[in-house]
Amino acid sequence: MKIYLDGKMLEKEDAKISVFDHGLLYGDGVFEGIRAYNGRVFRLREHIDRIYNSARAIDLVVPLSKKDIGIAVLDTLRANKLKDGYIRLVVTRGAGDLGLDPQKCEKATIFIIADKIKLYPEEFYTNGLSVVTTSVRRTMPDALSPCIKSLNYLNNIMAKLDAIRAGVPEAIMLNSAGYVAECTGDNIFILKENTLFTPPSWVGALEGITRGAVMEIARNKLKLAIKEDVFTQYHVYTADECFLTGTAAEVVPVVKVDGRIIGDGNPGKTTLRLIKEFKELTRLTGVPIYEK
């Protein structure tokens, strides 16, 4: 496997960063998870824009232009001879000292990993997920903006441990006011009649790239009303349909939450239509990896 690290393409065993890197010591950095489908990178521009926005929000200078980062992503895919896969793009504060002061980090570190993707088992898309609500509350937006996709994921990891202990693949996270925010690694949607609801970012939800694509499909193809609005566990339990979205998960149905059956206990018709339309979107759009 080839890894892009600060302008060089290295073997996995040789791709090393300093133990003094503030990304490692303090989670001081930002990242993106990106997908490649059938020789195309899905929504590359949106991912690059978001990592730049995340970096700007934490006053981190990205040492490459947006154009050059895009080229580096494509080069990494080519180096690994991938047409389909998952790309992890990471920008850390770089090496400094053991103190918190980010000014001691002279230059940011950039690395890119491209590998094959492991999705949920196919049965989850056919039969749907069971999930639980975790007791771990989502980090408050006034403490750390959920719009920043940072390397500090301990909040999500603690919630993921609750899911693992419950024997389910995902957990719903509430914010400090008790509103549904997101899952440990996915955005959440519920359908009630002809309206699709998803939490707004100020509740504690990341503005996911897949989330945005699904909202476009729902609005333009399915002619659904879309509301970014607060809702509670009650609204999840009584929803007609529920599903999750994410770069790795894509669109995956939820059929049981905290032991309550959602809808009729099967993936909903709207969810299945969104899965189909999303797959078609990823098949037809994206930045080509290889020259024709």
- For residue 275, report the phi and psi dihedrals to the nearest 5 degrees: -60, -45
What is the three-class DSSP state of 18?
A: coil
Angle subtended at Cα 199 by Cα 32 and Cα 87, rounded to the nearest 5 degrees:
15
**Do 35 and 247 form a contact (C-beta atoms < 8 A)?**
yes
Rounded to 10 degrees, the C-alpha dihedral 215/216/222/223 comes to 90
Burial of 252 (0-12, 13-18, 19+ CB in 10 A): buried
Bridge partners of residue 31, in order along the sequence: 90
The two tokens of residue 71 are 């080229």
What is the three-class DSSP state of 287?
A: strand
Instruction: Mark whether 276 is an active-site residue.
Output: no
Count of CB atoms situated within 10 Å of the CB of 232: 12
The two tokens of residue 90 are 């990471």
State the catalytic residue, choosing from 8, 83, 104, 149: 149
Which residues 6+ apart lie within 8 Å of 8 measured at CB?
none
The Cα 181–Cα 103 span in angstroms is: 33
**Do 92 and 51 form a contact (C-beta atoms < 8 A)?**
no
What are the catalytic residues?
Answer: 149
